[in-house]
Amino acid sequence: MSQRQLTFHIFRYKPETPKQDPSMQTYVLPEEPGMTLFIALNQIREEQDPSLQFDFVCRAGICGSCGMLINGKPTLACRTLTKSLPAEITLMPLPLYQLLGDLSVDTGSWFRDVSLRTEAWIHTEKRFDPAAEEERMSNDTALNIYEAERCIECGCCIGGCATANIKPDFIGAAGVNRVARFMLDPRDERDEQEYFDVVGSEDGIFGCIGLMACDDNCPIGIPLQGQLAYVRRKMAVAGWKR
């Protein structure tokens, strides 16, 4: 079987040089066995264009740094095999987030802001005693919390969310998933009314229009549809009680 030639159409723009308009640049690369988009991008940068900007850290789908639009779908470059794609590949940065350059975006500022808005920490009046035995919880509860904690903050669910791309203040599935994690935690002492103040709005759970692109696009398979439904049910009851 002959080796494929891959043609990459890659978005190029550096905000620090605004006189240069955004454009698409084409690169051609021979496909190698087991090649991922991460490998291909590094090869392009090393052999053809050292100015190409994109993000990576772990190369194993753990850090979430290499999220981008791959032929229109938000996903991770390091987990995408080129053999799963056609020979012509278009790469764009994730929308919504601040563009740093080419395929690199600032997801960190967005997630930090959502952490503050959702008060993503355990609220308790108990004083921490380092000598005390660790507080216990059931295995089922721990597993449910773990399911929400698996989020790697890659931003793919937000990049594919219609509401988030129309309303910049919408916290999206990633924000709602974070709220769900603390709702499930028995150590958090907030009641449903306090959670309603955080997420019971059009910028929170009631802004979701149910297209479920977040669930489709999560590269690590967090059941975001279930998390959204769980929080919506809780907040609908809390809103009715007001």
Tens-digit pLDDT profile for residues 129-188: 889 888 889 999 999 999 999 999 999 999 999 999 999 899 999 999 999 999 999 999
Closest CA to 126 of 189, 186, 184: 189
Tokens 């079987």 sit on residue: 1
Span 118-241: which CATH code?
1.10.1060.10
State the pTM of this model: 0.91
Sketch the domain layout of the chain as residue ranges: 5-105, 118-241
Q: By the 8 A CB rule, do 172 and 161 touch?
A: yes
Q: Is the model more confident about 69 or about 60?
A: 69
Give dist(CA 100, CA 72) in Å, integer.
19
Q: What is the pLDDT of residues 13-57, one digit of tens each?
A: 999 887 889 999 999 999 999 999 999 999 999 999 999 999 999
pLDDT-derived band at 1 (thresholds 50, 70, 90) equals low
Task: State whether CATH 3.10.20.30 applies to domain 5-105.
Answer: yes
Q: By the 8 A CB rule, do 130 and 175 touch?
A: no
Q: Cβ atoms within 10 A of the Cβ of 118, count? A: 21
Give dist(CA 66, CA 91) in Å, integer.
11
